[in-house]
Amino acid sequence: MRANSLDLLRYAVRRVGTRSIGPRSGQCGLRWSSSETRQWSTPLAKQLAEVINTTGPVSVAAYMRQCLTSPDGGYYTRNTTDHDQFGVKGDFVTSPEISQVFGELVGIWLYTEWLAQGQKKKVQIIEVGPGRGTLMNDVLRAISTFKHFAMSVEAIYLVEASPHLMKQQAKLLCGTDELETHDLGWKSTCKYLPRCNIIWCEDIRFVPKEETSTPFILAHEFFDALPIHVFQNTASSTIPASSTILTPTGPIIPKHGPQVPKNHWHELVVSPVQSSSSTQKGDPEEFHLTVSKSPTPHSLYLPQTSERYKALSKIENAIIEISPESLSYISDFAIRIGGANSAPTTPPSSQSLSSTSQVSRSSPTPPFQKATPSGAALILDYGPATTIPANTLRGIRAHRPVSPFTSPGLVDLSADVDFLALAETALSSSPGVEVHGPVEQAFFLSTMGIEERAEKLVRKAKLGKDVVADMDDTVKRLEGGWKRLVDRGPTGMGRIYKAMAIVPYRDGVVRRPVGFGGDVVG
């Protein structure tokens, strides 16, 4: 479980300049002087080092993106026939693999939203980052028991970049890993809803937006794996300000000489360690963080995008993490549910009136509008409820926390989710949505009835098992599973994981969804 490492691993930011680069070597560009003999842990590590030595240090976001999704050995995109990332035998365990009740309750939550919104007919079910398909498997099995809801599902979309995980998902959800080509990517028939296709695509932007459709979007442990940019607030000068001169008419600040230095955001970047240390425990770090000596395009722009970041501009050494890709995804979710903000209207000029045909060809695509907001998005992930994440980049391998700068491609990387940034972006992206949460996972699952559902499964297991030993194991697994999901201990999943919902906002009436303080309606 990734959450086991949240409070165990916090790497220190080393405020040093970028390392010097060795001399040019033939056809290989700029390389460390010892690169010819150095042994890298993975081919991806060597490739990253060669690129950085040639072009300079890269952002944390670029490093994460390559480590997780590079076609040349990324963690999620590499061939894993001999190793699985998920489950007890992999690197971490997720909530759906701990208990089937988790996915069943998510499916029931979708059903309650469908009821509350008037039982719409054209339903899309979308999951981003579906892993092995375990969550969607339990969700679809639960949905199949609600016949009218199941009949309203028009299509199921899985946003997946890994062809290897895609095959695992297809085998679980469709009974076969033989997929047919589709305009958006690939497709196969859902085994739980035989009249529906499951369609795979690499980006949510490929999933069609329709004014009359009702999208139900799931994002479980998805945002924590999206790349982050890390910034540190650094003083631009260490020279003290000129003294204030006291005069009979009041103090005067000299016009010349150094003034109080202003702080500037500098990006933390990744570069190779010149030589591996053999004294540290475990695999040595092959890369490390340094503070960029000069501003980067991201450091000049991203910290200015929110008042929350601006409020830290005068706090020296403050560190913030920002994930532009997360904000892009949550904006897409909100627009699908509630429609986009109307484009600003500007009076046409005389030139535009005289050249209508030319304007029509160059006019931008109008924003997606939705007359009646519908659908919902459920985000389940970990991170602080209100504060800005800082120093949360972590690695995990074989269920143990490791440095994120070892064995690129073999270590899962993640960072805390900034839930408040997601909520702000959703509300600013669409006038037709409202956001609820985040609430602790323990609260969400308890109000959804996890204990009652688990007790029902236990009673069923006791009736269906003839062998006492098998019955005891099943009961222990069922009871231990649901209790683990709602554990509110210091590192418990029920406290660390959060749930957040985006639902339609209509007629000025706020409606709390089930699991967030609301009741079943409709």
Residues in the chain: 522
* Helix/strand/coil (H/E/C) assignment for every residue in 257-305: CCCCCCEEEEEEEEEECCCCCCCCCCCCCCEEEEECCCCCHHHHHHHHC
pLDDT of residue 3: 47
Q: What type of residue sits at position 198?
A: I
pLDDT tens digit sequence for 380-393: 999 999 999 999 99
Please give the structure tokens belonging to residue 82: 């001999």
pLDDT tens digit sequence for 402-429: 999 999 999 999 999 999 999 999 999 9
Backbone φ and ψ for 335, nearest 5 degrees, come out as -65, -40
CA distances from 441 to 357, 381, 450, 480, 499 (A): 55, 9, 11, 16, 6
Q: Which CATH number fits domain 95-227+370-383+418-504: 3.40.50.150, 3.30.1180.20, 3.10.450.30, 1.10.40.30?
A: 3.40.50.150
Backbone φ and ψ for 482, nearest 5 degrees, come out as -70, -35
pLDDT tens digit sequence for 8-43: 334 333 333 333 333 333 333 333 344 457 889 899
pLDDT of residue 507: 78
Minimal CA–CA distance to 128: which of 395, 330, 400, 420? 330
- Give 255's contacts (C-beta < 8 A, 6+ positions apart): none
Angle of helix 100-116 versus helix 450-464 axis, rounded to 10: 130
pLDDT of residue 481: 92
Minimal CA–CA distance to 30: which of 38, 22, 18? 22
| DSSP string computed for 368-416 | P--SS---EEEEEEES-SSSPP-S--EEEETTEEE-TTSSTTTSEEE--
Cα distance between residue 13 and residue 516, in whole Å? 37
Do residues 500 and 516 make contact, with C-beta atoms less than 8 angstroms apart?
no
- Give 466's contacts (C-beta < 8 A, 6+ positions apart): none
pLDDT of residue 503: 97
pLDDT in tens, the chain (522 residues): 554 444 433 433 333 333 333 333 333 333 334 445 788 989 999 999 999 999 999 999 999 999 999 988 888 887 766 666 766 666 668 999 999 999 999 999 999 999 999 999 999 999 999 999 999 999 999 999 999 999 999 999 999 988 889 999 999 999 998 999 999 999 999 999 999 999 999 999 999 999 999 999 999 999 999 999 999 998 875 555 556 666 778 777 666 655 555 788 999 999 999 875 444 556 789 999 999 988 899 999 999 999 999 999 989 999 999 999 999 999 999 999 999 988 665 555 544 434 444 444 556 678 899 989 999 999 999 999 999 999 999 999 987 999 999 999 999 999 999 999 999 999 999 999 999 999 999 999 999 999 999 999 888 877 765 555 567 788 888 899 999 999 999 989 999 999 999 999 987 788 899 999 999 987
- The dihedral region occupied by 398, where left means phi > 0, alpha psi between -120 and 50, and beta the remainder, is left
For 84, the 3-state DSSP assignment is coil
pLDDT of residue 51: 94
pLDDT of residue 337: 97
| DSSP string computed for 470-507 | HHHHHHHHHHHHHHHHT--STT-HHHHEEEEEEEE-BT
Do residues 137 and 156 make contact, with C-beta atoms less than 8 angstroms apart?
no
pLDDT of residue 293: 87
Cα distance between residue 449 and residue 445, in whole Å? 6
pLDDT of residue 243: 60
